Structure 1
Amino acid sequence: MEEDSITSALLPAQGRGGGLRFSIDPDLPGRFWVESKATWKIAGAAIFSRLATFGLNVITQAFIGHVGDLELAAFSMVISVIVGFTSGIIIGMGTALGTLCGQAYGAQKQEILGIYMQRSWIVLSGCTIALTPFYFFTAPILKLLGQSNDVANLSGRVSLWCIPMLFSFVFFYTLSRFLQSQSKNFITAWSSALGAVFNILLCWLFVSKWRMGLEGALISLNVAWWTPVIVQYVYVTCGWCPDAWTGYSMEAFVDIWPFLKLSVASGVMLWLDLWYYKILVLLIGNTKDAEVAIDSLSICLNINTWEMAIPLGLLASTSVRIANELGAGRPVRAKFVVVVSIITSTIIGLVILVLIMVLRGNFAQVFTNNVIMQKAIYKLGLLLAFTVLLNSIQPVLVGVAVGLGWQAFVAYINFGCYYIIGVPLGMILGYTFHLGVMGIWLGMIFGTGAQTLALMFITWRVDWEIEAKAIESKLNQWSSIKSQNEKNKQTC
């Protein structure tokens, strides 16, 4: 695929009469199809992996639900509050590795990938150690947030069992980004599925058969998370990535500070995104008929969480494809990736929007027989549909920024649009204008819309040539440092 031919398919040409005419490339559908295959090769595995790992908590929760109501409440509280808070930071910080590995792989500098991953292990391990006090002090934290003593005390026990799972995130998400940047994330998908199978079998054995209760379910969950880590680690270090993994190196300790800054920016960016709709649930707790509102909203947000696997998979593929193409010095191809990804995600979002609008009177019956709840879910279905549409486009635009390495910039946009526009506007509509859950959610949709428009603007303003040259310069600088280090070793 030549740069010039793609350019002719995308850009207007000058006509004889001074006006604009558009050059239509007859092979444009073919090029679109080729890029779509490359995109879905990454996105498909990422979606499958996300569904499998998300299912681990759902499976464990289902088995704990048969142990007791108190145990279920404690597990749900730890997973949603403590694990949700800490894992969001770690997952976000891991996206920095995806950016750097994708750019290096595109530039045919595979030997850097292993160094980057080891550097990420160092940074994320330090961050994880710093986050462990939240697990040791879970009980007092939850009591401070207003939870009952029984739930808070048992949650304190549950959180200690979740510490091994927390450290598995360091390696799972870095190994996944390392493989994803090389379009080898099929191993991540299948290893995640293996972890889910182990979780079901072990939960059945420990909880249902041997009556080990809550502890048995938590052991199963830890095994399920460490299973894909072990599989991916063996795959990477035992010869299946010979160019990208050349063994452990002290060079991983070089340039830690720039890597740390990008990782922290990535963590803040994703954390602000993940917690935006969790705040929605907290705000609704102060509205009239809060119990019905929270239950109906939780059902809608669960649907949104499952559906989000698709746009988040496209986020992963967009960031990798853009990083690969910019690293290879092909800025026009990188621009074409954006076009294909946005068109694809928009079509998917519109299809799901239509499905929700058509079926919103029926899907509530799947979750509840309560007529009041069904009516509440029917009303919220309209907002869910537009949330799904925005959440189909927005992650792709975030993927563009991640591929460029602009995580810090997006973090500022997220904070401004979400917490200066969305949350205050939702509170005004919900509390001042007495619109309740509809008003709070509508205000937060405006925040998401503002973020989407901002990301569209900066994507439109990107100078792809300059970005490609900047990445080339950075990678060449690293190569010169590496060569100098090797000469110094030979001299010694």
Structure 2
Amino acid sequence: MDNELEERLLTSGTEQEGDLKVRVCEESKKIWRVALPGVIARVSSFGTVVVTQSFLGHISAVDLAGYALIQSLGVRFVNGVLIGMSSATETLCGQAFGAKQYHMMGVFLQRSWLVDLATLTILLPLFFLGTSIFKLLGAMAALNISAWLVVFGEFIYVFGGWCPDSWKGFSLAALKDIPPVVKLSIASGLMICLELWYYAVLVLIAGYMKNAEVAISAFSVCLNINGWEFMICLGILGAACVRVANELGRGDAKAVKFTIKVLLSTSVLIGLLFWILCLVFGNKIGYLFSNDEAVAKSVADLSPLLAFSMLFNSIYPVFSGVAVGAGLQATVAIVNVVCFYLIGLPIGLVLGYVAHLQVKGIWIGMLCGVITETLVLSFLMWRTNWDEEVLKASRRLKRWYLQSPEEAGQKSDQA
């Protein structure tokens, strides 16, 4: 009997192990089906920023520093607001897809356009005031053209018939329930843009260091390399948002937990790869962006810190994506303020100015903020009651649900 029982246990364990492998493979397919297009789009789009910086850096160190200020303070500021507010659409569309309310995805998209258009109109004067600065760089014009090409491509994809279930054309229904969308968009905007602005503030602080030209250039180079790898993580973030929102909309809390585990494992493996690459090639990175020995040496000094930043970049975006998928943006926005502005920034200022570590001190402070953010979000995700989040998602979708044209036609026929 003992042998028979032991055999059963072994067989059961093997079946569970095999079943787990199948589930992981299936979940990975779902993740990469969403993440891969996002990774390619974001990496190629942000690649224009990095290539432009490399081009200018080989012209002169002054141009490199000037570009760093404009790109970090101007473009990053506005992008932070718009990208953040747009993430509210990911929450709503993801949950609507999971609940098979496909026609609502097009309505949510239109509402997001209205909110973003109003926001951009408010921010537009910033670019009119900066016209004289942007004219100094022909490279910036090329970057703007590249960005618009992506926008036109997305319009063609949506309007060209590739989204038959979710895009039913323009609808007056998009004008309904705008205030709740604005509320969620503001929370989303705060969550994302507070993080992006943090890096812009650090570039500005670097400008007050000794040998500011070199400091800004080196810091910006490392920041953009960090940002380029972060684009991959944002693709994973998008996948996390979609998968979590789908399962919440479907009403499966256990599937949400499993998705988070697979997402986190995948992202950490990517982070470890870039951590190794940065440690191995750290001394040579600077020469890709500048011929200036001082800039290249400063980049090399920052490369170990850059490597660890890339590692942690692969962790906390997953939790941010999970938060977006669940509609918890307001909570993460508060965490961003505390971790980045109340912990990371003061530590960076003290180490940079008081301890005389200069740019390295600022980056250490930034890394402390990122590590704190990772720990706090890990704890929050662990404590989240996903069964309760399923109920919240269900209530949200029912509150904002509108009948599709097909459903309205069927009811009319029955009457």
Task: Please state which band the TM-score falls in when normalised by the shorter chain.
Answer: 0.7 to 0.9
Structure 2 match to 1:306: 228
- Which residue does the alignment assign to 1:190? none
Output aligned runs, 1:395-434, within 5 Å: 395-434=317-356
Q: Which residue of 2 aligns with 1:29?
A: 21
**2:127 is the counterpart of 1:135:** yes
Tell me, yes or no, if the aligned pair for 2:352 and 2:360 is still in contact at 8 Å: yes
1-structure distance, mates of 2:58, 2:270: 37
Aligned residue in 2 for 1:47:
39
Query: What percent identity do the matched residue pairs reach?
Result: 42
Pairs within 5 Å for 1:29-428: 29-58=21-50, 77-138=69-130, 154-155=132-133, 214=138, 218=141, 221-368=143-290, 371-428=293-350
Cα 1:292/1:254, change in 2 over 3 Å: same
TM value normalised by structure 2: 0.86
Following TM superposition, by how much is the alpha carbon of 1:377 offset from its aligned partner in structure 2, in angstroms? 2.8
Counterpart Cα distance in 1 of 2:48 and 2:127: 20
Shift of 1:236: 2.3
What is the distance in 2 between the residues matched to 1:136 and 1:257? 29
Task: Give the Cα–Cα distance (whole angstroms) in 2 for the partners of residues 452 and 390 of structure 1.
Answer: 7
Contact 2:268 2:311 in 1 (8 A): yes
Q: Tell me how large the CA RMSD over aligned residues is.
A: 3.1
Separation in 2 of the partners of 1:464 and 1:282? 40
Give the CA deviation at 1:361.
3.3
- CA positional deviation for 1:340: 0.5
In structure 2, the CA distance between the partners of 1:455 and 1:217, relative to structure 1 (3 Å rule), is: closer
Letter of the 2:72 partner, please give it.
S
Extract unaligned runs of 5+ from structure 1. 1-20, 140-153, 159-212
Instruction: Determine the C-alpha separation between the residues in 1 that align with 2:61 and 2:302.
Output: 28
CA separation of 1:236 and 1:367: change in aligned 2, threshold 3 A: closer
- Asked if 1:470 corresponds to 2:400, the answer is no
Contact 2:76 2:200 in 1 (8 A): no
Match of 1:173 in 2: none
SS at match of 1:471: helix
Displacement of 1:419 in angstroms is 0.5
Going from structure 1 to structure 2, the CA distance change for 1:125 and 1:292 (only over 3 Å counts) comes to closer
Q: Partner residue of 2:10?
A: none
Deviation (angstroms), 1:449: 1.0
Q: Provide the C-alpha distance between the structure 1 equivalents of 2:149 and 2:356, rounded to a whole number of angstroms.
A: 49
**SS of residue paired to 2:351:** helix
The Cα offsets for residues 213-268 of structure 1, whole Å up to 9 and x where unpaired, read as: 94x973x5555433343343233234332221222221111111110011111111
Work out which of the residue numbers 334, 345, 365 in structure 2 matches 1:443: 365
CA–CA separation in structure 2 for the residues paired with 1:480 and 1:136: 40
Could you list the runs of 5+ residues in structure 2 that have no partner in the other structure? Answer: 1-12
Cα separation, 1, equivalents of 2:291 and 2:62:
24
**Distance of 1:33 and 1:367 partners within structure 2:** 39
Q: Measure, in 2, the Cα distance between the counterparts of 1:72 and 1:437.
A: 17
Question: In the aligned structure 2, how far is the partner of 1:318 from the partner of 1:379?
Answer: 34
Partners of 1:352 and 1:58 in 2: CA distance: 17
Deviation at 1:285?
Answer: 2.4
Q: Distance in 1 between matches of 2:385 and 2:302?
A: 40
CA contact (8 A) 1:397 1:455 kept: yes
Residue identity matched to 1:47: V
**Separation in 2 of the partners of 1:221 and 1:361?**
28
By how many angstroms is 1:288 displaced? Answer: 3.1
* Alpha-carbon distance in 2 for matches of 1:294, 1:231: 34
Q: Which residue of the partner structure matches residue 180 of structure 1?
A: none
Structure scoring higher RCO (CA < 8 A, sep ≥ 6) equals 2
Which deviations, in whole Å up to 9, do the C-alpha atoms of 1:94-153 show, x marking residues without a partner? 1100110000001100011111111111111111111111122236xxxxxxxxxxxxxx
What is the alpha-carbon distance in structure 2 between the residues aligned to residue 457 and residue 328 of structure 1? Answer: 25
Separation in 2, partners of 1:413, 1:296 = 28
Whole-Å separation in 1 of the counterparts to 2:270 and 2:185: 30
2:7 is matched with: none
Q: Distance in 2 between matches of 1:430 and 1:245?
A: 51
Q: Are the structure 2 counterparts of residues 230 and 347 from structure 1 closer, same or farther at C-alpha, using a change threshold of 3 Å?
A: closer
In structure 2, what residue type is equivalent to 1:461?
A: R
Given that residues 97 and 120 in structure 1 are in contact (C-alpha distance below 8 angstroms), is that contact kept between their aligned partners in structure 2?
Answer: yes
Contact 2:191–2:332 at 8 Å: present in 1 too?
A: yes
Go from structure 1 to structure 2 and tell me whether the alpha carbon gap of 1:399 and 1:476 turns closer, same or farther (over 3 Å shift): same
CA distance in 2, matches of 1:118, 1:37: 29
Question: What does the per-residue CA deviation read over 1:177-207, in whole Å, with 9 as the maximum and x for residues that have no partner?
Answer: xxxxxxxxxxxxxxxxxxxxxxxxxxxxxxx
- Cα distance, 1:347 vs. partner? 1.7
- Tell me, in whole angstroms, the C-alpha distance in 2 between the residues paired with 1:430 and 1:61: 25
Q: Write the letter of the residue equivalent to 1:256.
A: I
Quote the offset at 1:366 in angstroms: 4.4
Contact 1:75 1:155 in 2 (8 A): no
Contact 1:137 1:156 in 2 (8 A): no
> What amino acid maps onto 2:303 in structure 1?
G
Q: Which residue of 2 aligns with 1:204?
A: none
Alpha carbons 1:74, 1:155 under 8 Å: kept: no
| Rounded Cα–Cα distance in structure 2 between residues aligned with 1:381 and 1:88 | 25
Please state whether the residue corresponding to 1:27 is helix, strand or coil: helix
Distance 1:48 1:390, change over 3 A: same
Aligned length: 397
More moved, 355-364 vs 317-326: 355-364
Deviation at 1:402, TM superposition (A): 0.6
In the alignment, the residues of structure 2 paired with residue 217 and residue 303 of structure 1 have an alpha-carbon distance, to the nearest angstrom, of: 18
Shift, 1:307, TM fit:
1.4
